[in-house]
Structure 1
Amino acid sequence: MASSRAVPNLTFRRLRGQRSPGEFAALVRRAAREIGEQVACDARYIGRVEAGEIRCPNYAYERVFLHMFPGTTLADLGFSARETVRGRAARTTDGGPTGADSALAPHSATDPIGSDSSNSTYSNEESDVLRRAFMTSGTVTMAAASLGFGPLPNTEALRADGLRADVPRPRIGEPEVRAVEEAVRQIRLLDDRHGADGLYQRAAQPLRTAYALLDAGTTTRGSTADRLAAGAGELAISVGWLAHDSGRKEEARSHYAEALATARVAGDPALEAHAFCNTSFLARDAGRYREAVRAAQAGQRAAGKLSSARLLALLNLREAGAWAGLGDRAACEQALSRAHTLFGRGPSDTDPEWMSFFGEPELHALEAQCWSTLGEWGRAARHAHRAAALQDPHFARNLALYRAQLAADLARAGAPAEAAAAAGQVLDLLDDVQSSRIRALLAETARVLTPLRHAAGVADFLDRYARTPRARAVATR
C-alpha cells in the first residue's frame, strides 16, 4: 500500500499561532458567516490542513481563508495550485483522498450523481461536509436494531479503506433505498414519542450507512438515484435535528450542511428547502439571527419551485423568529402575516412528508416563540396555551415542549400559579420524553419562580423539580 506523501503545511500552522485547532476552527466559521458562506470547519479539518492531507481547499474554504487573510493567495497560505491536486491522480493507490478537499473525485455540478468524469470540475461548494460519511470503520451495516432496522443488503463490500478496485461495487436498488427511507421515518417517529437525547448516538450509524450507499451507488441512475440522494439528505437532517434538540449545535450545523450539499449536488429543491429551514431554526437558537434570516429566505426561494403553501408558511415562521431575535418587530409581524395567509390555504398533496408535525399547534407555538423573544409574555402565553390545547397527545415530545414553553411564558408574564401547574404537567412526561430543549425551558421556569415560592402550587413544583435528576442536571450547568 502506497504512503500518502503528505507534506505538512507549516505556513498554515504558523497562521494559527497560539490558538488551539478548535479555537481557530471557530474563527474560520465566524469568517464564513461574515461573507455568507457555510463551512463545517472543526478541529479535525484544521489538523488535516496542517498535516498536508488537504493540499488545496474547496472553493468555499478558499474564499473564507482569503477573507481572513486579505491580500494573500492560496500559495501564500501554504496550499498547492488547484489544478495539481484535482482529479484521480491526486489519490493514493489505495483509494484514499490525499489532495483536493473533496470526498469524491471531481464531477460537474450538473452531471448525474457520481458521474465518472475525471476531467470535469466539482464545483459544489459544500463538498467538504460530504467527506466524513463515506469512509467507515469495518463492514458497513445498519446495526441499529433499536431503531427498528436490520442490516442493509449489499453493504458488506463497503470497507474502511473505501471502495477498492479489487472489491466489486454493490448494486444499489429498491431494497436499499427503501431501508434508508424507512430509517428516516423511524427516527422521526421515535423523536415524536421520546425526544432526541436518547436517539442521537444510535442514529449516527444509519446515517453513515446511507452516505456510504450513496457513494457506492455511483452507477445508479434515474429515480432510484434520486430517491437514494433524497433519503440520505433527509436522514442527515433528521440526525441533525436530534443533535440540535439535544444541545449539540455544532454537530447539528454539520449535519444540516451535509444535507444542503446533497441537495445541491442532486438538484433537489425540496431537500434544499428542508435543509435551509432547519439551518434557520438552528441559527436562531444559537443567536445568529441574521444568518437565520438569510437561511429562511433562501429556503423560501427553493420552496418557490414547489407547490406547498404549508412549506412556505413554515419558512416564513422561521424568518419571523429570526427577525424577533434581531428586535425588528415590524419585519417579524410581516413574516407572521405571510405565514398565516399561506397556512390558511390549507394542506396539499405536494406538502413534504416530513411536515407531518406542522399543523395549527405548531403554528401557534412558533408564533409564541416570536412574542416571547420580543418580550410580550402575555401574548406569547396565549399562543403557547393554544398550541398545547390543540396538540394531539400522540406527539408526546411536542406536547411536552408546548407546555414547557407555556410555563416559561406564564412565569415571565406574572402568573406563577398557572406557570407551576403547566410545568408540573411537563414533569409528568419527562420519564418518556428526553429533550434538552424542554429541560432548558423547565430550568428557566424554575429560576423565575424560585423567588415566588409563596404562590399557590409553586413550592410543590420547585420541590418536585429539584428531585428530578435530568432537570436538576440542566439547572446546575
Structure 2
Amino acid sequence: MTSSTVTSSQSPRPPRPNLAFRQLRGQRSPAEFAAAVRRAAHEIGERVSCDARYIGRVEAGEIRCPNYAYERVFLHMFPGCTLTDLGFAPRSAVRGRASRAPHEKREAYDPYHSTDSPDPHDLHDPHDLHNPYHPHEDHENHEESDVLRRAFMTRGGATVAAASLGPLGPAFDASAADRPAYRAGASDAGAVEEAVRRIRLLDDRHGADGLYRRAAAPLRAAYALLDVGATRQTTADRLHSGAGELAVSVGWLAHDSGRFDDARSHYAEALATARMTGDPALEAHAFCNTAFLARDAGRPREAVRAAQAAQRVGRGLGSARLMSLLALREAGGWAGLADRTGCERALARAQALFERGASDADPEWMSFYGEAELAGLEAQCWSTLGDWPRAARHARRAAQLQDPHFMRNIALYTAELSDDLARGGRPDEAAAAGTRVLDLLGQVQSSRIQTMLAGTARVLLPHRRAGAVSDFLERHASAPRPV
C-alpha cells in the first residue's frame, strides 16, 4: 500500500474533483452509471462492486487512480481513452511503485486502523486492497499481502467486515470493541458501510438464503462499536447510519429467506436507530422495508400505514425515485386489502414520480430500482387483485428489462410470470417460465422464490399430462429444497 507520510497534526488538502469523469456520466444518476459500469465489467469477465458511492468518490477526487479491475472496465467503456483522459492520476504517482526498489522496506499503512483519515491526495481506491481472503485477487506484492493478512487476522472489530463479507469467510469478532480504551474511528465506519454494500451485491446475485446467518456477525459488531463510542461526532453519525442500514440489509436477508419474525426485529432496530439520531433517510428506508414485510406477511393494512409513514418522512429528501418506490409499497398494501381504486391511485402516483427521473438525491440502496422493478412490483399488485393477464404482462416486461447483475430479481420476476400464466389458464407457457426459474436456482438461493414456484406447481397439477407441464413438475419435484 502507499506509505502515508501525513501526521494527524497536518491539515489535509482538499481533493481535486474529477470533472472529466463527471462529464462522462452525463445525465445518468450515480446509481445508473454504477449499473452501467457493472454491465461493462460483466461484458469483459471482470467483477467489480461498483455502486453510487464509489462513483461519487471518484467524481469528488477521493479516488485518484482506480484499481486494475476498474481500469480495465473504464477503458472498455471508453475506447481510445487513457486513465489521464478519464481524469485520473498516473498509477505511479499514487502508489509510488515506480520509484521503489523491490527490496526497499516500506511502511505498512493500515487503512482500517489509522487514527485519523490520511490526506485525501494520498488515498487510492480501497477496492485495490490485496485482500488475502478474496478468491479473485492477484497478489502482485506478497510482502504487502502478508502485512494485510496479519492485520485482518489479529485486529478485531468491525474493521474486517469487508474482508469477511467478501467471500463470506470466517466471521470477524468484536474483540476490539470490548477493549475499554478502544474508540471507533473513521475506518470502522467505512468498514461497516462496505459490509452493507457487499451484502447488497451478493444478495443481488445469489439471493438471501446462503447469506443471512453469516451476515449477523457484522451487525453485532457494528452495534458493539456504537456502544463503545467514536473518536469524532461525524464518525459517530456515520456509524449510526451504517449500523442502521446494516440492520435493514440483514433484515431483508431474513425477509427474503422466510424468517419474518427475525426480519421484523431487524427493521424495528433500524427504525429505532434512525429515530434516536434523527436520520430521515434511514427512517424512510426502514419504513419502506417494514411495509414490504407486512404485505408479504399478510398484514396489508399495516403495509399501507408503514408506506404512508415512509412517504411523510421521505418527502424532504428530494428523491422522486424514492417516493415512487414508497408509493408502490402503498399500492401493494391496497391490493392486499382488495381495494382496487386505492391500488390504482398509488400505482399512478408511483409511475408519475418515476418519470421525473433519477437524481443525485436518490439513496445509494435504491440502485436496484429501475423500470424492471417498477414493472415487477406492479405485476405483484395485479396478481394480488386477481388480474392475471395484466400481471403476466408486467412480469414479462420486468424480466426482459432487468440488468443481468440482478440475477435474483430475474428469477423472481420469472417466477411471478410463471405463476400468473398458470393462474391465467396458460399452463404450457407457465411451465416454460417455471423451467427457466429452475435453471437459475443453481445460482440463486431464495426461499421466497422457492415458495412462489411451489405454489405454481400446485396450480399446474391438473395439467400434468401435458408434456411441458409434466417435465416442469418432475424437475421441480426433484429440485433441492432450501434448508
Which residue of structure 1 lines up, in the alignment, with residue 204 of structure 2?
192
Distance 1:198 1:343, change over 3 A: same
Which residue of structure 2 lines up, in the alignment, with residue 428 of structure 1?
439
Alpha-carbon distance, 1:171 to partner: 2.3
Q: How does 1:97-176 map to 2 (within 5 A)?
A: 142=160, 147-148=165-166, 155-159=174-178, 167-176=179-188
Q: 1:278 aligns with which of 289, 296, 302?
A: 289
Q: Deviations over 1:62-121 (max 9, x none)?
A: xxxxxxxxxxxxxxxxxxxxxxxxxxxxxxxxxxxxxxxxxxxxxxxxxxxxxxxxxxxx
Separation in structure 2 between the aligned mates of residue 277 and residue 441 of structure 1, nearest angstrom: 22
Contact 1:233–1:262, Cα closer than 8 Å, also in 2: yes
Which residue of structure 2 lines up, in the alignment, with residue 453 of structure 1?
464
Distance 1:452 1:155, change over 3 A: closer
Which residue of structure 1 lines up, in the alignment, with residue 394 of structure 2?
383
Separation in structure 2 between the aligned mates of residue 303 and residue 155 of structure 1, nearest angstrom: 34
Instruction: Read off the aligned partner of 2:455 and give its amino acid letter.
Output: E
Contact 1:313–1:343, Cα closer than 8 Å, also in 2: yes
Contact 2:177–2:183, Cα closer than 8 Å, also in 1: no
Q: 2:240 aligns with which of 229, 237, 257?
A: 229
Q: Deviations over 1:199-248 (max 9, x none)?
A: 00000000000111111115631x22221111000000000000000000
Separation in structure 2 between the aligned mates of residue 378 and residue 408 of structure 1, nearest angstrom: 11
Q: Deviations over 1:233-274 (max 9, x none)?
A: 000000000000000000000000000001001111000000
Separation in structure 2 between the aligned mates of residue 151 and residue 439 of structure 1, nearest angstrom: 28
Aligned-partner SS, 1:349: coil
Aligned-partner SS, 1:158: helix
Contact 1:260–1:271, Cα closer than 8 Å, also in 2: yes
Q: Deviations over 1:156-186 (max 9, x none)?
A: 3433xxxxxxx53412211101100000000
Which residue of structure 1 lines up, in the alignment, with residue 19 of structure 2?
none
State whether structure 2 residue 264 is matched by structure 1 residue 253.
yes
Q: 1:321 aligns with which of 325, 332, 344?
A: 332
Instruction: Read off the aligned partner of 2:184 and give its amino acid letter.
Output: I
Which residue of structure 1 lines up, in the alignment, with residue 477 of structure 2?
466
Separation in structure 2 between the aligned mates of residue 315 and residue 365 of structure 1, nearest angstrom: 14
State whether structure 2 residue 373 is matched by structure 1 residue 354.
no
Q: How does 1:37-116 map to 2 (within 5 A)?
A: none
Separation in structure 1 between the aligned mates of residue 170 and residue 375 of structure 2, nearest angstrom: 40
Distance 1:170 1:356, change over 3 A: same
Q: 1:179 aligns with which of 170, 187, 191?
A: 191
Aligned-partner SS, 1:197: coil
Q: 2:345 aligns with which of 334, 340, 356?
A: 334
Q: 1:217 aligns with which of 205, 208, 229?
A: 229
Alpha-carbon distance, 1:301 to partner: 0.7
Contact 1:157–1:169, Cα closer than 8 Å, also in 2: no
The TM-score, its normalising length taken from structure 2, stands at 0.65
Which residue of structure 1 lines up, in the alignment, with residue 405 of structure 2?
394
Which residue of structure 1 lines up, in the alignment, with residue 310 of structure 2?
299
Which residue of structure 2 lines up, in the alignment, with residue 66 of structure 1?
none
Distance 1:381 1:422, change over 3 A: same
Alpha-carbon distance, 1:305 to partner: 1.4
Contact 1:193–1:397, Cα closer than 8 Å, also in 2: yes
- Structure 2 unaligned spans of 5+: 1-155
Q: 2:377 aligns with which of 366, 375, 378?
A: 366
Contact 1:144–1:205, Cα closer than 8 Å, also in 2: no
Which residue of structure 2 lines up, in the alignment, with residue 123 of structure 1?
none
Separation in structure 2 between the aligned mates of residue 442 and residue 270 of structure 1, nearest angstrom: 34
Q: Deviations over 1:136-162 (max 9, x none)?
A: xxx756578552289999953433xxx
Separation in structure 1 between the aligned mates of residue 454 and residue 217 of structure 2, nearest angstrom: 32
Alpha-carbon distance, 1:392 to partner: 1.5
Separation in structure 1 between the aligned mates of residue 176 and residue 413 of structure 2, nearest angstrom: 46
Distance 1:154 1:321, change over 3 A: closer
Instruction: Read off the aligned partner of 2:315 and give its amino acid letter.
Output: G
Contact 1:310–1:351, Cα closer than 8 Å, also in 2: yes
Alpha-carbon distance, 1:394 to partner: 1.7
- Structure 1 unaligned spans of 5+: 1-138, 160-166
Instruction: Read off the aligned partner of 1:212 and give its amino acid letter.
Output: A
Which residue of structure 2 lines up, in the alignment, with residue 267 of structure 1?
278
The TM-score, its normalising length taken from structure 1, stands at 0.66
Separation in structure 1 between the aligned mates of residue 174 and residue 206 of structure 2, nearest angstrom: 30
State whether structure 2 residue 214 is matched by structure 1 residue 202.
yes
Contact 1:407–1:422, Cα closer than 8 Å, also in 2: yes
The count of aligned residue pairs is 326
- What do you get for the CA RMSD once the two structures are aligned? 2.0
State whether structure 2 residue 429 is matched by structure 1 residue 418.
yes
Separation in structure 2 between the aligned mates of residue 184 and residue 281 of structure 1, nearest angstrom: 19
